[in-house]
């Protein structure tokens, strides 16, 4: 595929409000192209796009789509859109130039220095952290993020065009469209088995991704993974690791160690050992790109505010703490629990979890049950279906039956606040990748209005 950007005047995004699609839409606005799009409903990201000049339609009557000139247009779609969708079918039957988002990212980054961050968990935080370190030190970075970086309140960062930082998504094998100069693989836990069927096929896809690197020695990965390249871990059994770790007033203090460099007295204001790993990784990639800025990158780390819905404190009172997190895989729930116990070691914790996808709930039901059972009280919302049709017998009651715990129940979204108010748990965490984030914002607003 080859995109002639000079020739393209109009870009239409099918699914423009999604986190990945919108970042690319912001980029085309930056390139002075006319940006159009379709999505089911407005959201804060699509509102921001419209303020910056994008024209978006929220129904399937094709009024905007029919205004697109086929001769100089590019149609970009998300793999979450099915090919029988009326908007997709319009462009297909009229022979427009149509491309997946991942293919466009691969083309845009092909003649740039590309740093790609892959892994089934952690890639959004690492990508956002890396992009922040580069921009905060005035490096010429363009970054496409899978979450909202809180320092910029954006999933798109632009400070120049020399280096592209990209969250390399394994869903639909999208990351195989990239040919990075530097790449990180944070972990490969089984996920997206609706796409891959087996863990072995998922792992093979990551190996294929690693083989896409322009220079195979520039691969960084978690030390337990079977890849050639440079290893990363929190402990000292790797090429890159942390030592002298301590926690003071909710902030990590540590030294960063690599084969050639030892940086002392770093600070990270994000809880959990998984975030220490993320910080070690982001620093390794930033320093690989611009080693002479190593000390500057290290100092900037303390200013990174995190990513929305990644262990965000939405209520902090003496008697109640509420945390919002995107965790939607058993390993992520485990990491959230460990982080809470580090920061709030003697307090009871309620988990309010919205399972994401029927297939993921079915595939990992026992693992979900095991990790959720660690909490002191468990509330499940109904499964968020996203792109899937229901699977018979797979629902939140099915998952609840596997949780061995005396305090557990399935609740409706309109009962979240009541559950929090009537609980004796001092810490509450809302988790999930569906629309539970909207409920978390409502909870935040409610407690803010109380003041």
Q: What's the gap between Cα 286 and its chain centre?
A: 19
In a domain, 435, yes or no: yes
Look up the CATH number of the domain holding residue 422.
3.90.190.20
For residues 352 and 421, state if they share a domain: yes
Q: What is the mean pLDDT of residues 105-134?
A: 93
In a domain, 280, yes or no: yes
- Rounded distance, CA 386 to CA 363, Å? 16
For residues 55 and 80, state if they share a domain: yes
In a domain, 5, yes or no: no
Query: 264 and 255 in contact (C-beta within 8 Å)?
Result: yes
The pair of structure tokens assigned to 291 is 């080693």
Between residues 267 and 450, the one the model is more confident about: 267
Question: 381 by DSSP, 3-state: which?
Answer: coil
| Total tally of structural domains belonging to the chain | 3
Residue 290 has pLDDT above 90, yes or no: yes
Q: Which residues pair with 73 in a beta bridge?
A: 10
Query: 412 and 384 in contact (C-beta within 8 Å)?
Result: no
Would you state the pLDDT for residue 196? Answer: 63
Q: How confident is the model at residue 194 (pLDDT cuts 50, 70, 90)?
A: low
Domain boundary among 303, 322, 337: 303
For residues 158 and 176, state if they share a domain: yes
Residue located via tokens 């002191």:
376
CB pairs under 8 A, 24+ apart, for 219-227?
219/183, 219/184, 219/185, 220/182, 220/183, 220/184, 220/185, 220/281, 220/284, 220/285, 220/288, 221/184, 221/185, 221/186, 222/119, 222/185, 222/186, 222/187, 222/277, 225/185, 225/187, 225/188, 227/185
- Rounded distance, CA 177 to CA 83, Å? 20
Domain boundary among 101, 128, 156: 101
In a domain, 1, yes or no: no
For residues 297 and 372, state if they share a domain: no
Q: What is the mean pLDDT of residues 354-377?
A: 96
Look up the CATH number of the domain holding residue 64.
3.40.50.720
- Rounded distance, CA 433 to CA 445, Å? 20
Nearest alpha-carbon partner for 429 in 355, 385, 366, 379: 379
For residues 157 and 273, state if they share a domain: yes
Would you state the pLDDT for residue 14? Answer: 96
For residues 267 and 366, state if they share a domain: no
In a domain, 173, yes or no: yes
For residues 83 and 27, state if they share a domain: yes
Whole-structure pTM value: 0.87
For residues 322 and 369, state if they share a domain: yes
Rg, C-alpha atoms of the chain: 22
Would you state the pLDDT for residue 236? Answer: 83
* Residue pLDDT, tens place only, 353-364: 999 999 999 999
Would you state the pLDDT for residue 198? Answer: 81
Look up the CATH number of the domain holding residue 150.
3.40.1190.10
- Rounded distance, CA 435 to CA 416, Å? 13
Neighbours of 151 (CB within 10 A): 18
Q: How confident is the model at residue 191 (pLDDT cuts 50, 70, 90)?
A: low
In a domain, 389, yes or no: yes
* Low-confidence winner among 369-373, 412-416, 445-449 (lowest mean pLDDT): 445-449
* Residue pLDDT, tens place only, 242-282: 999 998 888 999 999 999 999 999 999 998 889 999 999 99
Would you state the pLDDT for residue 1? Answer: 52
* Through-space distance between the first and last CA atoms of the chain, rounded to whole angstroms: 56
Domain boundary among 249, 272, 303: 303
In a domain, 4, yes or no: no
For 188-280, list the strands marked E by DSSP. 219-222, 230-232, 241-248, 251-257, 262-268
Full domain range(s) for residue 264? 110-303
In a domain, 3, yes or no: no
Percent of the chain with pLDDT over 90: 77
């Amino acid at each position: 595929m080859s995109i002639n950007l000079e020739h393209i005047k109009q870009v239409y995004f099918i699914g423009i409000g999604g986190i990945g699609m919108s970042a690319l839409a912001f980029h085309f606005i930056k390139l002075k192209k006319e940006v159009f799009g379709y999505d089911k409903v407005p959201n804060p990201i699509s509102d921001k796009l419209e303020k910056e000049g994008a024209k978006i339609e929220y129904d399937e009557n094709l009024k905007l789509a029919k205004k697109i000139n086929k001769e100089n247009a590019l149609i970009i779609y998300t793999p979450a859109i099915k090919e029988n969708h009326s908007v997709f079918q319009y462009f297909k039957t009229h022979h427009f130039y149509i491309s997946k988002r991942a293919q466009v990212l691969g083309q845009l980054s092909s003649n740039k220095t590309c740093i790609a961050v892959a892994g089934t968990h952690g890639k959004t935080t690492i990508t956002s952290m890396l992009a922040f370190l580069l921009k905060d030190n005035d490096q010429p970075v363009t970054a496409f993020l899978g979450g909202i970086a809180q320092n910029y309140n954006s999933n798109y960062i632009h400070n120049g065009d020399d280096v592209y930082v990209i969250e390399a998504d394994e869903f639909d094998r999208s990351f195989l469209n990239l040919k990075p100069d530097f790449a990180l693989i944070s972990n490969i836990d089984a996920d997206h088995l609706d796409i891959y069927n087996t863990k072995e096929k998922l792992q093979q896809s990551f190996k294929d991704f690693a083989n896409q690197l322009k220079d195979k020695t520039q691969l960084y990965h978690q030390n337990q993974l079977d890849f050639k390249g440079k290893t990363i871990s929190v402990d000292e059994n790797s090429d890159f690791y942390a030592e002298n770790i301590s926690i003071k007033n909710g902030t990590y203090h540590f030294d960063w160690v690599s084969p050639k460099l030892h940086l002392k007295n770093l600070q990270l204001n994000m809880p959990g050992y998984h975030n220490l790993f993320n910080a070690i990784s982001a620093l390794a990639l930033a320093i690989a790109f611009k080693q002479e800025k190593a000390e500057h990158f290290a100092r900037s780390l303390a200013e990174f505010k995190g990513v929305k819905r990644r262990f965000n404190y939405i209520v902090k009172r003496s008697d109640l703490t509420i945390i919002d997190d995107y965790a939607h895989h058993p390993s992520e729930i485990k990491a959230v629990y460990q982080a809470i116990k580090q920061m709030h070691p003697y307090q009871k914790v309620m988990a309010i979890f919205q399972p994401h996808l029927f297939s993921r709930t079915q595939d990992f039901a026992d693992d979900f049950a095991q990790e959720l059972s660690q909490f002191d009280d468990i509330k499940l919302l109904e499964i968020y279906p996203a792109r899937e049709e229901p699977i018979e017998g797979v629902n939140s009651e099915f998952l609840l039956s596997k949780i061995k715990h005396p305090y557990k129940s399935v609740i409706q979204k309109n009962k979240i606040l009541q559950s929090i108010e009537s609980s004796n748990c001092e810490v509450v965490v809302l988790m999930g990748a569906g629309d539970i984030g909207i409920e978390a914002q409502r909870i935040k607003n409610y407690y803010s209005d109380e003041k």
